[in-house]
Amino acid sequence: MTPQEDITGLILAGGRGTRMGHVDKGLQPFRGASMAEHVMRRLAPQVGALAINANQNLDVYAAFGVPVWPDQLTGFEGPLAGLATGMARCATPLLVTAPCDSPFLPHDLVARLRQALDAEGADLALAETEEAGPDGVPRLQPQPVFALVRTNALPRLEAYLAGGGRRMDGWYGAIRVARVRFDDAAAFRNINTLDELRQCEPE
**Which residues define the annotated binding site for GTP?**
12-14, 25, 53, 71, 101
Q: Could you give the C-alpha distances from 131 to 23, 70, 97, 147, 185, in angstroms and in order?
A: 29, 33, 21, 19, 7
* Residues placed in the known binding site for Mg(2+): 101
What residues are paired with 116 via a beta bridge? none
CB 72 within 8 A of CB 43: no
* Residues placed in the known binding site: 12-14, 25, 53, 71, 101
C-alpha atoms less than 13 angstroms from C-alpha of 19 in its C-beta half-sphere: 9
How far is Cα 194 from Cα 199, in angstroms, rounded to an integer? 9
How far is Cα 119 from Cα 142, in angstroms, rounded to an integer? 19
